[in-house]
Amino acid sequence: MTVSGAFRTAVEAKDLDAITRALDPDIEFLSPVMVKPYRGRDAVTALLRVLLEVFEDFRYTDELVGSGGEAGAAQALVFRAAVLGKAVQGLDLLSFGETGLVTGLTVMVRPLPAAMTLARAVGRRMEEQTT
C-alpha cells in the first residue's frame, strides 16, 4: 500500500497512530478556518486528534491523484461529514516528499456556516488541550 493509501485508510479507521506514521516530521497543515498554520508532526497530530473527535460520520467520497510533476506527488481526498449537526463538505489536499510521507496537508471545507462551526469547535478543544 502506498503512503497516500495508508493515510486514507488510517483516517477512515480513525487510527491516529497510523496517521502519524504517514506524516513527515516537518509537515505543514493549512486551512482557511485556522488563523495560523500548524507545523511539525507533533502539532499536526494534536490537531488531527481533535478533528477525529469533532467530525461526525466522516467519509471520503472521491479521490484525485496528481501525476507528480514539478511540485511533487499530490493527492486530493474529497469528504463529507458533520460538525455539531451541520453538514460539511471538504477536501484534504496532500503533498508528499521524496520519502513518500505527507509533507503538506491543506483542508478546505464548505459551506461557510459549517466551516465557522468547525473553527469554533476545534478552537475550543485545542485550547482545552493546552490548559
- Local confidence pLDDT in tens for the 131 residues of the chain: 455 688 999 999 999 999 999 999 999 999 988 878 999 999 999 999 999 999 999 999 999 887 665 556 789 999 999 999 999 999 999 999 888 899 999 999 999 999 999 999 998 888 887 76
| The pLDDT of residue 49 | 95
What is the pLDDT, as a whole number, of residue 127?
A: 81
Q: Reduced to 3 DSSP states, what percent helix, strand and coil does the chain have, rounded to the nearest 5?
A: 35, 40, 25
Say if residues 28 and 93 touch (Cβ distance below 8 Å): no
Give the Cα separation of 102 and 75 in Å (integer): 10
Chain centroid to Cα 32, Å, comes to: 12
Strand order through the sheet with 56-65: 38-39, 23-30, 102-110, 86-96, 74-83, 56-65
User: Three cell numbers at 50?
Assistant: 481533535
Kindly state the DSSP code that residue 40 receives in the 8-state scheme.
S
Q: What is the structure's pLDDT at 4?
A: 61
pLDDT value, residue 126: 84
Cell of 111: 459551506
Q: What is the pTM of this model?
A: 0.88
What pLDDT, on the 0 to 100 scale, is given for residue 69?
57
Per-residue pLDDT at 33: 82
